[in-house]
Amino acid sequence: MKIVRIKFINKIDNTFHMVEVGDKALDFTLLNQDRQPVKLSDYIGKKNIVLAFYFLDFSPVCTNEMCSFDNSLKELENLDAIVFGISVDSPFSHKAFAEKYNLKIQLLSDFNREVIRKYDVVHEEMFGFKNIGKRAVFVIDKNGIIRYKWVSEDPRKEPNYEEIKKVLSELK
């Protein structure tokens, strides 16, 4: 039995978006918790990038995940990486979340659900919420190539942080 997955079709140009290890990362611009635009391509060539998609601000597992990334920030910076947390929450929710937990990583608002669709990490419905991001991590090298992909169907499962660090150490 062959499993066929339907990928996101960009409504503007009708292109399919396949995001797999070895592919070029798809560019985007999202607002951070300070309502400042962050464009992924601005970091290509400068840093390795960790995109950490998560379910919702203030949920227990997401809080632990974002705090885990933040607590490892110095180590990740030493691996020449920058971390972006991405959820469908508003920049205002991200601001309150970052302040409550003293997070230094940038939290990006995919309020319009464009990036979770581009990266094919959408829960159509989960726990009564519609069209929110799956828990997923992508590591993008300085050349803009995806070198690691982890996607969980279970929003209660956290990524393997040591595995992410190992991938980043191999890129250094």
Instruction: List active site positions.
Output: 62
Q: 135-140 and 81-87: which strand pairing?
A: unpaired
Phi and psi (nearest 5°) for 20? -130, 165
Phi and psi (nearest 5°) for 55? -65, -70
Whole-angstrom Cα distance, residue 5 to residue 20? 13
Largest pairwise CA distance in the chain:
49
Contact 121, 17 (CB under 8 A): no
